[in-house]
Amino acid sequence: MSVEPLPLTSTPKTITAANDMKRNHGHARNPGLALDLSKVEDIRVNFSALERRAATLPGRRSVKKDYQAAWLLKALSCIDLTTLSGDDTPGRVQRLCAKAKQPVRQDLLDAMGFDRPLHTGAVCVYHDMVETAVKSLEGSDIPVAAVSTGFPHGLSPLPQKLAEIKASVAAGAKEIDIVITRHHVLLAEWNALYDEVSAYREACGESRIKTILATGELATMRNVAKASMVCMMAGADFIKTSTGKETSNATLPVTLAMVRMIREYQEATGFKVGYKPAGGISKAKDALVYQALMKDELGHDWLQPDLFRFGASSLLGDIERQLEHHVTGHYSSGNRHPIG
């Protein structure tokens, strides 16, 4: 699975990239590139090799005791704590934000001797709850992420999608999780996908854009890889697996296909793009596997929340439960670790 180097001078977008490092921990925000269909069509995926590699991952890395606790605390800092239910209320979002600011009970942190600031990577909500979340997170540096563009189906008219993005940015959302139009991928309409994501990126302004591919609905792993590359060419800050509403969400083979496109893109352009697996990651042991994969495939930078996020909420509860076991030697019931 390879991509030839992409020309850094192919678009005026790259001219200002050097001025866009302040919000990204020292790396320039991906400015996007001109769409090169020849590069997209050259992408190949060896699905059997991905499956074999994914099957070995759970047994390749095993961390125990203090080391495991440290990795789990890092995982907490990379969670987009999320509530996307039809019955969301301001009170639920306020409680979720309180948990984002204090994701682990203080007595557990004290017992582990952990005295650094700790919070989740973001709080993710529907547009109607953006203002509530922003107000609840005042005084912290936790960004609010809003799902947009007709989430989760992505079939609203384009002007409505752009208006959704602009409204959430105006309300204070610093990150926008958009969903692509799946039929652009299924019909190989790469120009249309590129134009769509470029328009979303422009509407986001300074807010970061996470492009949700809905990988479970893209039919083939090759489609997943191609869609990942096109979204990055269009200026995506993150590529994300799923809305969490599909029947198939984040998997290790899908993750490998996507992060290897991220690696190809970085090697060709010098720009780093983030990755967000979402849906189906609810156990601490799964978080450890994904972290090991990111470190092996992309390096230490992709263990930081500016380049890696888990789209999850129940994951936080299981991690806190594992940390209590680390401290006390006993597992507690889930109701001792409420989320929101």
Active-site residue numbers? 177, 240, 276
Q: Which residue in 238, 216, 327, 331 sits closest to 30, CA to CA?
A: 238
Q: How far apart are CA 144 and CA 169, in angstroms?
A: 10
Q: How far apart are CA 184 and CA 174, in angstroms?
A: 27
CB-CB neighbours of 127 under 10 Å: 17
Q: How far apart are CA 61 and CA 286, in angstroms?
A: 12
Q: Which residue in 236, 234, 245 sits closest to 276, CA to CA?
A: 236
Whether the Cβ atoms of residue 212 and residue 236 lie closer than 8 Å to each other? no
Which residues make Cβ contacts (< 8 Å) with residue 199, sequence separation at least 6? Answer: 158, 162
Question: In angstroms, how far is the first alpha carbon of the chain from the final one?
Answer: 42
Whether the Cβ atoms of residue 20 and residue 252 lie closer than 8 Å to each other? no
